[in-house]
Structure 1
Amino acid sequence: MKKLLGALILMLTCSGAYAAEGGFPLDTAPFRSNDLSALQNGAKLFVNNCLNCHSASSMRYNRLRDIGLTDEQISKNLLFTGEKVGDLMTVAMTPKDAKTWFGAAPPDLSVIARAKSVNAGPSGSDYIYTYLRTFYRDQAQATGWNNLVFPSVAMPHVLWQEQGPHTVTTVAMHAAEGEHGWERITTVHDENGVPTVTREPVPNYHGHESSVSRIVPKNPAQAAVFDNQVADLVAFMTWMSEPAAQQRTRLGVWVLLFLAVFTIIAWRLNSVYWKDIK
């Protein structure tokens, strides 16, 4: 059954080489681009959870043959509203409706994994993987949800049932107002989004302002299963952003091997050609 995933993944931007825009460090997404079962599960998760609001207008359903699915499997398991196997992955929601409901049209996710990559830094896969796993309840937000990677994000956490309840503790070092000193501010959001804030003076602190957040799941086993599902979803989105990447890599290996062999042959021919002249 389809779930509304809201305005998934972006509205997002990476601003640091090693951390998200909110300063939260990014986890490394498991590499599963060569795992067909993971890609197939990711395709199912994407269609059921993302494709109600987000389009992937650069991808056709029949391209999923590349990850081992047949037309019959695609039609039976991934098409629900009369689409054809050769159709693009679009949504029925109009931009006007999207703006009314969400404030902005949810972005197309065709190449989002590539778009969120940072040169010499985390990949877009890392960004999405961390983002989807760091939602937490926050009663101060209109949707009732917040996110460590993208603070005050507009989208809700529709996969919360799969992830299970958890708390978030944020410890921040902050320069105390009107005083020459620092204070440690600890904010704990419980599983219902109710914050508890405590402040503690730290007069001898000589560092700089900082903030560290930690998610504590109530059911670690359930959270681990959720992380595995997210990894499959991210693997599919990474594959979708460049389906020909693996083929290009294989072709590149053959080209390099050819050039290596050709270089040896050319070097030997050059030696034979010039030996009598020298």
Structure 2
Amino acid sequence: MKKMINSLLFALLASTSIASFAAGGNVHLDKAPIDLRNAESLQRGAQTFVNYCLSCHGAVAMRYNRLTDIGLTEDQIKNNLMFTTDKVGNPMKVAMDAKDGKTWFGATPPDLSLIARSRGSDWLYTYLRTFYRDDTRPTGWNNLVFDKVGMPHVLWELQGEQILETKKEGGHDVQKLKLVKPGLLTRGTDSGGFDNSEYDLRVADLVNYMTYMSEPAQVKREQIGYAVVLFLLFILVPLTYLLKKEYWKDIH
């Protein structure tokens, strides 16, 4: 009995710590606009993933030819997305050597095949938008969601540079990010601030693709599920009812 109670307590503590870690502590996670049926968004996300992520991270559970499921032809895949292999049936392997990654970043960059399932789409969406300059870090970057992150901000040219400011609000210290240098997808506004909408859309497409990549069969599985439910409701149930009436007609 005591052993069982200890096991339950351990499982509870483990699940609590994992949930807290996945949520990024006290940082609010923005809702990721996930739409796995938006083929154009998935295609843009795949392009961003290959151009900015695949040089350091791999996705060995995902093969290039699975991209035909989101509306790309094999020729489009070969001409626009395949930089680390010459066979469309190969997995999305990282271009960088694992030993070099560990030397440069202190740890081997993780495979991203299932990152959306382990971290969550909201976590990824917030994480990729909350990098800020930090001269105390080896890479010069830190992250509001993942403190002391070892990964540099690979999308900084698109977003620009943010800094972390601490302000007093209601008698409490509140940390906020401020964009101080615009990027290719952020532009100035009349108020002197910056508009991040284009960058947010690019990140949304990237996270949408990473969510799709973590479970490519999800949309088809849901479609099959809907078909099965419709079959049960409109074919099997009426047939069962008619069979029941035919079977019991002589008894009643």
Change (3 A) 1:102 1:73: same
Task: Tell me the SS of whatever aligns to 1:29.
Answer: coil
CA contact (8 A) 1:139 1:145 kept: yes
2: distance between equivalents of 1:190 and 1:27? 17
How many equivalent residue pairs? 226
Task: Tell me the SS of whatever aligns to 1:169.
Answer: strand
Change (3 A) 1:75 1:219: farther
TM-superposition CA deviations, 1:31-53 (whole Å, max 9, x none): 23111111111111000000011
1:157 aligned residue (153, 161, 164): 153
2: distance between equivalents of 1:188 and 1:58? 37
CA contact (8 A) 1:135 1:148 kept: yes
2: distance between equivalents of 1:248 and 1:131? 29
| Larger mean Cα displacement after TM superposition, 263-272 or 253-262 | 263-272
1: distance between equivalents of 2:163 and 2:69? 40
CA contact (8 A) 1:32 1:232 kept: no
CA contact (8 A) 2:84 2:94 kept: no
Structure 1, unaligned runs of 5 or more = 1-12, 117-123, 174-182, 194-216
TM-superposition CA deviations, 1:95-151 (whole Å, max 9, x none): 3222222111111111111122xxxxxxx1111111100111122222221111111
CA contact (8 A) 1:168 1:189 kept: yes
Corresponding residue number in structure 2 for 1:16: 20
Q: Are 1:245 and 2:203 an aligned pair? A: no
1: distance between equivalents of 2:177 and 2:205? 28
Q: Are 1:220 and 2:194 an aligned pair? A: yes
Q: Could you tell me how far 1:82 is from its partner in structure 2?
A: 4.8
Task: Tell me the SS of whatever aligns to 1:259.
Answer: helix
Corresponding residue number in structure 1 for 2:3: none
Corresponding residue number in structure 1 for 2:143: 147
What is the identity, as a one-letter code, of the residue corresponding to 2:142?
N
1: distance between equivalents of 2:176 and 2:30? 22
Structure 2, unaligned runs of 5 or more = 1-16, 182-188
Scaled by the length of structure 2, what TM-score is found?
A: 0.80
Corresponding residue number in structure 2 for 1:30: 33
Task: Tell me the SS of whatever aligns to 2:20.
Answer: coil
2: distance between equivalents of 1:189 and 1:59? 34
2: distance between equivalents of 1:236 and 1:257? 29
Alignment of 1:96-115 (within 5 A): 96-115=99-118
CA contact (8 A) 2:84 2:93 kept: no
1:129 aligned residue (125, 132, 141): 125
Corresponding residue number in structure 2 for 1:236: 209
1: distance between equivalents of 2:206 and 2:131? 16
Scaled by the length of structure 1, what TM-score is found?
A: 0.73
Name whichever structure is richer in helix by fraction: 2
2: distance between equivalents of 1:171 and 1:22? 20
TM-superposition CA deviations, 1:204-247 (whole Å, max 9, x none): xxxxxxxxxxxxx97533x1110000000011111111111111
Corresponding residue number in structure 2 for 1:56: 59
1: distance between equivalents of 2:224 and 2:177? 50
Q: Cα RMSD between the aligned structures? A: 2.7
CA contact (8 A) 2:160 2:179 kept: no
